[in-house]
Structure 1
Amino acid sequence: MALFGSIATVRAQLAHAAHFQAAFAYLDEVLAPGSAGMKRILAVAAGKTERVELSGGAFALEQAYLTKERAQGFFESHRAYIDVQVIVSGEELMEVADVAKLTVGEDFTPGKDLIKYQMFGAASVLRLGAGEAAVFFPVDGHMPSLAVSSPALLHKTVIKVPVIR
């Protein structure tokens, strides 16, 4: 099931997993105050996403957007990648539920690693701010990008770590 908390907490939980090394090396660089990586993410324009290739088949999606009301969101999951969602600036709510409890709305696999689910009212809610992360595995239906109180600008990076089969 999902992991969440400070980068240090999440790293401690995944220290044994070698396939997360590229993600943590990247985070060490982009979360360092004043680093080129942090400046790059903070320069992403609202509504834009930039892709950064990492080693081992992983990649990062550096994003900036306005958080949204829950009614505008949707639950999603992925089969091929684990999401490591890290807030760089701002704050957002994320909901998470076991995919076994969700009803598939649209399955875009294998062409796109995305399954969308119908709305679900009994999810757990996470509140994350700068320097915090949530890790969503294929069993975790998640609805990120939600406003805490009203829509606000957020900068984040989502690292896609390949699932080991």
Structure 2
Amino acid sequence: MIIDKLENRHRYQHLHPRIAAALAFLADTDLSALPKGRHSIDGDNLFAIVNDYDTQPAGTEPFETHKRYADVQFVVSGEEAFGYLPLAGQATLAPYHEAHDFVEYDYQANKDDACFIPLKAGMFAIFMPEDMHMPGTGEQPVRVRKVVCKVLL
């Protein structure tokens, strides 16, 4: 997992060419003007999903991981916290969902080991397949616009 401000994106160009392209897209696009939904950058290799939502209390949603894609999550406006925990053999809630590339994990079974990290407007987080994460949380509801770039590894 990596957390930083978009202005420091140059530090992560070497991770993967599509991660570099995702960070360039986030920096060069008027994200406040994009409509909600999926936006193709490079077909299924790299695409962005624009979401507007209110944060929820931790545990409302499960932890998740992905097998084929990395997430580059960028907060355009608002602020949220995300739960984080390294993947280390935790029991899944259901089998891997191949069509949507995710596995879910029980919050209650992992809450004592998880940490919650704030992600403010202008910041991004990169989640690799070994990073359990629970985005969109907060103690009080806050309206958030976030763009998630899905990067095929």
Taking structure 2 as the reference length, the TM-score comes to 0.89
- The equivalent of 1:89 in structure 2 is 77
Aligned CA RMSD, in angstroms, stands at 1.6
Secondary structure at 1:111 match in 2: helix
1:108 to 96, 99, 105: 96
C-alpha distance in structure 2 between counterparts of 1:68 and 1:118, whole Å: 16
User: Which has the larger helix fraction?
Assistant: 1
Measured after TM superposition, the shift of residue 111 of structure 1 is 2.5
Unaligned runs of 5+ in 2: none
Deviation sequence 1:116-154 (CA, Å, 0-9, x none): 00121211221011000111000000000001x311110
Taking structure 1 as the reference length, the TM-score comes to 0.83
C-alpha distance in structure 2 between counterparts of 1:51 and 1:112, whole Å: 13
Measured after TM superposition, the shift of residue 59 of structure 1 is 0.2
- The equivalent of 1:130 in structure 2 is 121
Larger RCO, structures 1/2 (Cα 8 Å, 6+ apart): 2
- The equivalent of 1:20 in structure 2 is 19
Measured after TM superposition, the shift of residue 8 of structure 1 is 3.0
Measured after TM superposition, the shift of residue 15 of structure 1 is 1.6
Contact 2:12 2:20 in 1 (8 A): no
Contact 1:22 1:55 in 2 (8 A): no
Q: Alignment identity in percent?
A: 29
The one-letter amino acid of 1:15's match is Q
Unaligned runs of 5+ in 1: none
- The equivalent of 2:58 in structure 1 is 70
Secondary structure at 1:65 match in 2: strand
